[in-house]
Chain A
Amino acid sequence: MIKRILAWLSVLLFAVFSIYPMLYVLGVSLRGDNAFQSQSLEILSASSTGKNFIDLFTQTDFLVWMRNSLWVSTVTTFLGVAFASTSAYALSRFQFRGRNTMLFSLLATQMFPPTMLILPFYIILSKLHLIDSFLGLFLIYSSTALPFCIWQMKAYYDTIPKELEEAAVLDGCSRWLTFYKIILPVSAPALVITALFSFMASWSEYVIAAVVLQDPQMYTLPLGLRSFQASLATQWGLYAAGALIVSVPVLILFISISRYLVSGLTMGSVKG
């Protein structure tokens, strides 16, 4: 009995811990004045107003940024899923020269400090004239999310019994059809996770976007939000409102696929 109470108490405590920061941001976004701070702990108060939200949509380019972000993230997700699922399939099913090297180097890519990739990125992109276009972003975003996604998908593929593909082959499927009609549908949980990670990699990414995109009409949401900040005069209300809205799609995505998350991530872990 005591155990139950303790369990409930600790869960509630951590629930507060989890949610409070976002509630705080909500409170800031509802503040009428541009002050980041107030001395009270209230989230909602008499002076709460939705003005920041309205201003966000009517007076800033927020919708433009959102459109850009949606476009970039969708394409990145598509590319990421396409490339990860195909490469992982090759790595899972076929023995070929250089396979083990490839596998290890995928893991190794996770270890590289992100800071030093920025300058070379810029150089490659400007040499290829991909600065200030979304194409450069697609390339970089999908490529940086790939190693983890390939790893995940490969682990999942490893759990699909070989007989399924043999049956498909005997039924008359070419290698491509086997992959497309049989393996892909069966791998739905892992595909969903790959899609989520690809989406998140681009939706929340700031540094690379800042390097690549110059035209404010092409800004993605992180860049847009950042423009509310100046080291000496931040518009906290707008920023908080924007931050909340930016977090919402990711949250929805996460929630809708959370049960896939549970099984999908384990697949990878169990098989190592």
Chain B
Amino acid sequence: MKAGIALLAGLFLLLTGSGARADKMRIQVWHQMIYGHRQVLAEAIGEFEKENPDITIQATYRETEELRSSYQAAAMGGSGPELVYGPSDQVGPFATMGIIRPLEEVLPDTPWEHYDPLAIPLYEGRHYMLGALVGNHLMLIYNKKLLSTPPTTTDELIELGKKHTVDLDGDGKIDRYGLVFNYTEPFFIAPFIPAFGEPFMNENLQPNLNTAGLRDTFQFILDLRDKYRILPKECDYETANALFKQGKAAMLINGDWSWGDYKENKMDFGIARIPRVSSTGRWPRPLVGTAGYSLNANLKDPARLAATLRVLKYLTSEKVQALFTERVGTLPSLLSLREQEAVKNNPLLRVSSEIMDVGTPLPVVPEIRGLWDSLRTQYQKILAGSTTPSEAAKNAQSMAVAQIKDMNEILTPDASLGVVKLVILAGALALLWLLRKNALGFLKGFYGPQRFVYLMMLPAFIGIFAVIIYPFFYNIAISLSNFSLRTFQDWSLVGFHHYIATLSDPKFYSLFLKTVVWTLANVFFHVTLGVFLAVVINQVLPAKGFWRTLFIIPWAVPQYITALTWRGLFNQEYGPINLFLQQYLHLSPVQWLSQPVTAFLACIVTNVWLGFPFMMIVALGGLQSIPQSLYEAAYLDKANAWQRFRHITWPLLMPVMVPAALLGCIWTFNNLNIVWLVSNGGEPGDQTHILVSYVYKAAFNLYRYGYAAALSMLIFLILIGWSLGSLRAQFKKEQKS
């Protein structure tokens, strides 16, 4: 037996080891390349490894947003991949946080002039990224089977659009749209802003949103949807893509990354500039950027650095760029390659270059995030009908300025720091004093006769300490500090600033209210549905086992799958719910996810779906312990089903349901996954947030770690207070009876 354990332990340790091979140097590259591009990357890597047997390259794919947050987390922890590949707008944040290195330091004789300036964005005068392609820009893509020539002005766009928006089979549902695109995302309307008025960022790289230009852009999109009706009522990226591929859209606004997908689907498509705005005569200016490699600032070891630089040079070399161009049609960043046949004679690339001529470089400064975010919030509000374009423009500007100020704020210790230090000291002393007996007794216990007990608890205790207690205190520290974008590497305690800011922000209270509503609504339905089904299964239906199994399914499905599935079900265009409403009930479709109230409802429905099985199981258990004789007596007393339920079932079920409901409240209050995934991060316009999802956004999207930490603490304190309160109330009730 003991030998068996030793063997298992050895095997265990062996198998938990990481995949690194000791003899080869392993260079990690994180990227967000889409599927088609990944294959090419793999090919390029394969070649390199053949020629350089001492190096292995491990390429890891992450979705763009996640790439950003996990790289931040990794780099913050002192590790992370040697190279990180992503869009140029990640340069600003990463450079500010000090987690990527200026390339001048390590590659001083790079021939920068050989590259398209767009591929080597400058930040604060230095190069932090070397791009292998240029583009990522938006354009008008049209289905050649439906249109032979694309529109060149917006008036033409509207005309053609109207012509092609048809209801083919007369069932009241539009079968083909003139134009589709992901119009809820600011990036996709950004090109129009400079065409209607001033650009959205001024020369000092500060937001310039309260302009007529922005207002008119908003109005234009609204008109496309509501007045001219050439856009679907609700359209996200997936929907636009699907409609176009199915031939149900004549025109589409999308980027060059999508060509591969359309080619694969054998679409006959053409590209063109986004049409000139008729009223101003100006071309929309798509944002052109690059996707490129940055160097991890944590990389210090000279040998490793040398190897990484070899990889970097290879991946941005002529050879690899040409490979990409050949396979997936990207525009290389090396100017020399642009002269080559492959590029010059590629019709798509030629037109693409023309499009880029009216483009404008994508800003790389971190401020752009604050700008996108506030733009998105206001814009989605307009689309939902809760505000007007001019109001929105004004609010967007003030929001952007405020967010940027917050992001750039380097808090300095204020008066409250002294108080904080005092409180912490006093608190620690008080804690030690209170627990002195406990702690000493606890420690002594290890040597006493009860040693067995303490040993039994040790592993769990260590685990819980490391994994929950330690992060908890770490979080307290962050909440009292100025940890944020600009103080990423060297943060310090500053006092209660974040707590004061949070508690004086009306948003906190509205979020709190929303979270309470969320929790109560969910738990109410969970319990009601659960008890109802339990009673019916237990008392009315045959084959209890079958029904029990059936209703457990929602609980068994992993949460992330649930969330995405329901998001799909609620899709305005393709979701079965709307299809059902239209085809069977002949009701008009509901724009579930783009209106705040219905989006919130969608989240609730999803959470109810996955939560009621738990309550049902608990109720089934509780029902089993109610003696049948009680029902028989009631039956003889001529009680009907409802009375039996009310006077026997419910009171005897309560002691079982109450603890379960309390636990359910705590879990629901803290449930991040569903709200975040179903509403796609709080859409529309940040109005579908509960406290915990807002914490996530503040931390990982807005870089406001200190604020997020303080908010987490407040959430925790709310829950503790509430559960202590309800425990006491329960205790008192038990004492009375």
A255 x B258 contact (CB < 8 A): no
How many residue pairs link A and B with beta carbons under 8 A? The number is: 353
- Give the interface of B toward A (CB within 8 A): 12, 15-20, 28, 30, 32, 34-36, 58-66, 70, 73-74, 76-79, 81, 237-239, 241-242, 245-246, 255, 257-258, 261, 265, 435, 437-439, 441-442, 445, 450, 452-454, 456-457, 459-461, 463-464, 466-468, 470-472, 474-475, 478, 529, 532-533, 536-537, 540-541, 545, 547-562, 565-566, 568-569, 571, 573-576, 579-580, 583, 609, 617-618, 620-622, 624-625, 641, 655-657, 659-660, 663, 666-667, 670, 672, 691-692, 695-696, 699, 705, 708-709, 712, 715-716, 719-720, 723, 730
- Give the residues from 1 to 18 in chain A that come closer than 8 angstroms, CB to CB, to chain B: 3-4, 7-8, 10-11, 14-15, 17-18
If A215-B18, A266-B625 touch, whether A110 touches B238 (CB-CB below 8 Å) is no
Chain B residues within an 8 Å CB radius of A254: 552, 555-556
Give bound CA distance, A11 to B532, whole Å: 9
- Chain A residues touching B, majority SS: helix
A87 engages B618 (CB within 8 Å): no
Contact (Cβ within 8 A) B242 A36? yes
In whole angstroms, how far apart are the Cα atoms of A22 and B64 in the complex? 28
Q: A21-B569, A35-B245 are in contact. Are A251 and B60 (CB under 8 A)?
A: no
- Which residues of A from 217 to 252 have beta carbons under 8 Å from B? 217-218, 222, 225-227, 229-235, 243, 246-247, 250-251
Which residues of chain B are within 8 angstroms of A38 by Cβ–Cβ distance? 574
| A58 interface hit (Cβ, 8 Å) | no
Contacts of B239 in A (CB 8 A): 37
Instruction: List chain B residues, Cβ under 8 A from A175.
Output: 452
Check if B695 sits within 8 Å of A233, measured CB to CB.
Answer: no
- Given contacts A123-B474, A269-B621, 18 further A-B pairs with CB under 8 A are A4-B540, A14-B533, A18-B554, A18-B609, A21-B562, A37-B574, A84-B460, A87-B456, A115-B712, A116-B471, A117-B467, A119-B471, A126-B77, A132-B18, A222-B560, A231-B63, A246-B561, A261-B617
Report whether B34 and A112 are in contact in the complex, using a CB–CB cutoff of 8 Å.
no
A121 touches B (CB below 8 Å): yes
**Is the pair A269, B618 in contact by a Cβ cutoff of 8 Å?**
yes
Q: Given A109-B468, A114-B670, A254-B552, decide whether A214 and B450 contact each other with a Cβ distance below 8 A.
A: no
A87 engages B461 (CB within 8 Å): yes
A266–B553 CB distance below 8 A: no
A189 to chain B, nearest CB (A): 11
| With contact pairs A216-B58, A251-B553 given, residues A246 and B558 touching in the complex (Cβ less than 8 Å) | yes
Least Cβ distance of B576 to chain A in Å? 6
- Residue of B79, B472, B474, B575 near A131 (CB, 8 A) is B79
CA distance A47 to B667 in the complex (A): 42
**Chain A residue at minimal CB-CB distance from B670:** A113
Q: Is the CB of B463 within 8 A of A139?
A: yes
Pairs A–B under 8 Å by Cβ, sample size 27: A4-B540, A14-B551, A18-B550, A21-B569, A24-B565, A28-B568, A41-B579, A84-B460, A87-B459, A89-B456, A98-B435, A98-B439, A118-B73, A119-B699, A121-B467, A126-B77, A143-B464, A144-B467, A147-B464, A204-B558, A222-B560, A233-B34, A235-B35, A255-B549, A255-B552, A269-B618, A270-B655
Are B450 and A122 touching (Cβ within 8 A)? no
* A-side contacts of B551, CB under 8 Å: 14-15, 18
Query: With contacts A90-B456, A247-B561 known, is A230 near B63, CB below 8 A?
Result: yes
- Contact partner of B258 among A83, A131, A233, CB < 8 A? A233
CB within 8 Å for A41 and B73 given contacts A4-B540, A21-B566, A230-B35: no
Answer whether residue A25 sits at the interface, using C-beta atoms and an 8 A cutoff. yes
Residues of A within 8 A of B (CB): 3-4, 7-8, 10-11, 14-15, 17-22, 24-25, 28, 33-41, 71, 75, 82-84, 86-87, 89-91, 94, 96-98, 101-102, 106-127, 131-135, 138-140, 142-144, 146-147, 150, 175-176, 203-204, 206, 210-211, 214-218, 222, 225-227, 229-235, 243, 246-247, 250-251, 253-255, 258-259, 261-270, 272
A69 to chain B, nearest CB (A): 11
Specify which chain B residues have a CB less than 8 angstroms from the CB of A106 in the assembled complex.
464
Taking the nearest CB of chain A, how far is it from the CB of B649, in angstroms? 14
Residues of A close to B61: CB separation below 8 A: 216, 227
* A113 and B715 contact, CB distance less than 8 A: yes
Taking a contact as CB atoms under 8 Å apart, the answer to whether A204 and B559 are in contact is yes
Question: What's the nearest-Cβ distance from chain B to residue A71, in Å?
Answer: 7
Kindly state the separation between the CA atoms of A122 and B463 in the bound complex, as whole angstroms. 15
Nearest-neighbour CB distance to chain A for B728, whole angstroms, equals: 12
Chain A residue at smallest Cβ distance from B621: A266
Which residue in B478, B540, B571 is a CB contact (below 8 Å) of A7?
A: B540
Assuming the contacts A14-B529, A204-B559, A214-B60, asked whether A116 and B565 have C-beta atoms less than 8 A apart, the reply is no
Q: A24-B565, A115-B695, A231-B64 are in contact. Are A90 and B453 (CB under 8 A)?
A: yes
A267 CA / B618 CA spacing, docked (Å): 9
A2 to chain B, nearest CB (A): 11
- Evaluate contact between B63 and A120: CB separation under 8 angstroms: no
- Are A233 and B35 CB-contacts (below 8 A) given A21-B566, A120-B470, A150-B460? yes
**Which residues does chain A contribute within 8 Å of B558, judged by CB atoms?**
203-204, 222, 243, 246-247, 250
B452 contacts A176, C-beta separation under 8 Å: yes
Least distance between B635 CB and chain A CB atoms (Å): 14
Contact status B78-A226, CB under 8 Å: no
Beyond A75-B12, A126-B78, A229-B63, whether A251 also contacts B556 by CB under 8 A is: yes
Chain B nearest Cβ from A152, distance in angstroms: 11
Q: Is the CB of A139 within 8 A of B573?
A: no
Top 6 nearest A-B pairs by Cβ distance? A37-B574, A266-B621, A97-B441, A204-B558, A120-B471, A143-B463
Known: A15-B550, A90-B453. A112 touches B723 (CB 8 A): no
Residues in chain B near residue A40, CB distance under 8 A: 579
B466 near A124 with CB under 8 A, answer: yes
Q: In the complex, are the beta carbons of B16 and A138 less than 8 A apart?
A: yes
Question: Quick check: B617 and A17 within 8 Å, CB to CB?
Answer: no
Q: Which residues in B have their C-beta under 8 angstroms from that of A230?
A: 32, 34-35, 63-64
Q: Is the CB of B579 within 8 A of A262?
A: no
- Residue contact A243 to B561, C-beta cutoff 8 Å: yes
Contact in complex: A83, B460 (CB < 8 Å): yes
Please name all residues of chain B whose beta carbon is closer than 8 Å to the beta carbon of A150 when the two chains form the complex. Answer: 460
Chain A residues, Cβ within 8 Å of B579? 39-41
In the bound complex, how far is the Cα of B339 from the Cα of A99, in angstroms? 77
Decide if B246 touches A218 in the complex (CB within 8 Å).
Answer: no
Contacts of A119 in B (CB 8 A): 73, 76, 471, 474, 478, 699, 705
Residues of A within 8 Å of B76, CB to CB, are 119, 122-123
A214 to B, closest residue via Cβ:
B60
Pair B667/A269 contact, Cβ less than 8 Å: no
